[in-house]
Amino acid sequence: MKKQLLQFLRDDIGKGDVTSAVLPAKKCNARIVAKESCTVAGLEEAKFLFNKKGVRARPLSKDGSRVRAGATILHLQGQNKKILSVERTALNVIGRMSEVATTCKKAKQIAGNKVTVALTRKTMPGFNLFDKKAAKLSGIWPHRTNLNSFVLLKDNHLPFFASPFEAVLAAKKKHGRGMKVEIEVESLKDALIAAKAKPDVIMLDNFSPARAKRAIKKLRKVFNGQIELSGGITLQNLPRYPKAKPDIISMGSLTYATKWKDFSLKIEK
C-alpha cells in the first residue's frame, strides 16, 4: 500500500510541480477540512504522503470516525511547495476512502448485526486495498482481497464442469482442506446439487428477497455451511434481504456505485 501511494504521488507530480516552483519557499501551516459530513477514512494514508515530503501531519480525527461539515481533520506544518505538491493526491485518497467508508457504514446500520455485509472485487483498479481498508473501518467484511484469497466458482467457471457438484469436488481435490471453497449458483436446484459436495459457502446470485427466503429455508435442511446473497443489492433494497436470514450479503454497489466525499486544503497565513 505504501508503494502504491508513492506511485500515486509520482503520477501526479510528473517531472515536477511547475506551478509551485513559481512560489518563494516559505514555511507555513495548512489544514484539510471536510466540506460535508461523513465517515472519514484515508487519514493514515494522507499523513504518510505528507511525511514523505518532509511535512508534519497531525490528524485531528480518527479513521472510521464521523466528522461534520467544516471540521478540520488534518493539520499540516512544512514548506509551502511541499504541502502543495501532495495536496491533490492526499485529497483524492481521503475523498475516495471516506465515500466508501460512509456508504459501508450506512449498509452496516441497515443490515444489523445478525448478518455479515461484504464487499466484492468490484473495486477501483489500483485502489483495491484502500477500498477494502475503508470498508473494514466501517465494519464490513472485505471478502476476497484478490484471486488468491479463496476459491469462488462463478458462472463463467461452471460450464467447464458437468455440474456444480463436480466443480466443488474439483476445487477440493486441487487445493485440499486448507482452502476455502465457495460456489455461486443462480437457482435453488443448482444450490442443492452443490450442497452435496459440501462447499464452505453457497452464494445465491440475483435472488429477490422473497425467492432468497424460500431458497434459504430449504437449503438449511441439507446444508451446514454459510449462505451468501449477492447481485443487485443496493442501500435502497438492502432492508428486505436480512429477513431471508442469510449469513452474508455481498454488495458490489458499496464500491462501484459510490461517488466522492469533498475535502479541501486551506493554507493558513
pLDDT at 177: 86
C-alpha cell, 235:
442501500
Question: Are the C-beta atoms of residues 244 and 209 closer than 8 Å to each other?
Answer: yes
pLDDT at 32: 98
pLDDT at 259: 86
Which residues pair with residue 184 across a beta bridge? 203
Q: What is the edge-to-edge ordering of all strands in the sheet holding 181-185? A: 116-118, 248-250, 226-230, 201-205, 181-185, 151-153
Closest CA relative to residue 140, chosen from 159, 172, 158, 115: 115
Kindly give the confidence (pLDDT) of every residue in the chain, 269 residues in length, as a single tens digit, with 9 standing for 90 and above.
999 999 999 999 999 889 998 999 999 999 999 999 999 999 999 999 999 999 999 999 999 999 999 999 999 999 999 999 999 999 999 999 999 999 999 999 999 999 999 999 998 888 999 999 999 999 999 999 889 999 999 999 999 999 999 999 999 999 988 999 999 999 999 999 999 999 999 999 999 999 999 999 999 999 999 999 999 999 999 999 999 999 999 999 999 888 899 999 999 86
Domains of the chain (ranges, CATH numbers): 2-101+259-268 (3.90.1170.20), 108-256 (3.20.20.70)
Tell me the whole-structure pTM to 2 decimals: 0.93
